[in-house]
Structure 1
Amino acid sequence: MSIRANLYRLQIAEKSVGSLSILAVLRWTLVIVFLWFGAMKFTAYEANGIAPFIVNSPIMSWLHTLLGVQGASNVIGVLELSTAVALILGSFLSIFSALGAAMSTATYLITLTFFFSTPGVAEATAGGFPAISALPGQFLLKDLVLLAASLSLLLASVQGSKPNAQKS
């Protein structure tokens, strides 16, 4: 089956399990998170707050080198606000349901890598890993739940694009 045919078979995540579902709650909660966090990225307070995560990340440290602390934060803010917009549009258009959920999933996959690259995650005074610090350890651990919400939306959005997908 062609890519184009599969794109037409994508679905709005919530419609894969009924008209009113927990997926709608997940979608709109993620929208709030991305709008709020994305808007905050344009403040010096937030830019400085995320700087230790970015500078220690093998995936994202180039942003600081290229754009500086505030520039890197601004780029991340644009991406987060774009994710919010895609998630909002995804409640109406199936392609955006999949796109927004994929963007959200990618975000939390990346932020969970900070768990391994950011100094201070393991709490030495409590015996080291698996004991984690409140900051940054527990702060990052919450992204595991946000990743699960994102994956739930993504899987429900692309479920209909499988050639042998069963309709519910």
Structure 2
Amino acid sequence: MTFANDPAPPTGRLDARAFLRAGIVLILLWFGYMKFLPYEAEGVKGIAETYWLFGWMYPLIGVQGASIVIGVLEITAGLLIALGGRFPFAGLVGALMGVATFVVTLSFFFTAPGIVAEGYAFPALGGTGQFLAKDIGLLAICLYLLFDAQNRLEL
């Protein structure tokens, strides 16, 4: 296993991977921070409280506690992805966490209310569906960074 740095892009070219990494890091850190705020905790509760993966936390640690756990996971993923430019193993773990995060949020498409606009059929998305749809692109970025880290580790 080698811990190579990101290879430099050819002279005069921008490194698209660095932009993808910076973008997903910003999103994960921002979303993670927001989980510490009461209004965001209440918003997350609306779709997470009855979800099998998160529902058990609400009776144990409450609305804010459950939201903080989710926020810590998002912030951790963001920090590890940020380190991934220099340390591929950290990037691999962070990208795996990002993939898991967005697979879980996309699974809400099957359980959350408001996915399809009222009075319409799929693919007419309602507010919740529109909010979750962005995670398709975020998942793709994390998958790209996961495979990139894997290649850099020569796994």
Asked if these proteins are the same fold (TM beyond 0.5), I'd say yes
1:53 is the counterpart of 2:47: yes
Percent identity between matched residues is: 39
1:98 is the counterpart of 2:87: no
| Aligned-pair Cα RMSD in Å | 1.9
1:129 is the counterpart of 2:129: no
In structure 1, how many angstroms separate the alpha carbons of the residues matched to 2:151 and 2:72? 28
Which residue among 102, 114, 139 is the counterpart of 1:147? 139
Match of 2:150?
Answer: 158
Deviation at 1:36, TM superposition (A): 0.8
The letter of the residue matching 1:27 is: R
Work out whether residues 89 and 153 of structure 2, in 8 Å CA contact, stay in contact via their aligned partners in 1: no
Match of 1:64?
Answer: 58
TM-score when normalising by structure 1: 0.82
In structure 1, the gaps of 5 or more residues are 1-7, 164-168
In structure 1, how many angstroms separate the alpha carbons of the residues matched to 2:96 and 2:3? 13
Higher RCO (CA 8 Å, separation ≥ 6 residues):
1
Deviation at 1:25, TM superposition (A): 0.6
Deviation at 1:84, TM superposition (A): 1.5
TM-score when normalising by structure 2: 0.88
In structure 1, how many angstroms separate the alpha carbons of the residues matched to 2:43 and 2:59? 17
Work out whether residues 4 and 86 of structure 2, in 8 Å CA contact, stay in contact via their aligned partners in 1: no
The letter of the residue matching 1:96 is: A
The letter of the residue matching 1:73 is: S
Structure with bigger helix share is: 1
In structure 2, how many angstroms separate the alpha carbons of the residues matched to 1:58 and 1:129? 24
Instruction: Flag the 1:150–1:132 CA change in 2: closer, same or farther, 3 A.
Output: same
Q: Deviations over 1:11-56 (max 9, x none)?
A: 55x43x8475211111110111111111111110110111112113
In structure 1, how many angstroms separate the alpha carbons of the residues matched to 2:85 and 2:145? 11
Deviation at 1:96, TM superposition (A): 0.6
In structure 2, the gaps of 5 or more residues are none
1:85 is the counterpart of 2:49: no
Match of 2:37?
Answer: 43
In structure 2, how many angstroms separate the alpha carbons of the residues matched to 1:66 and 1:23? 40
The letter of the residue matching 2:41 is: A
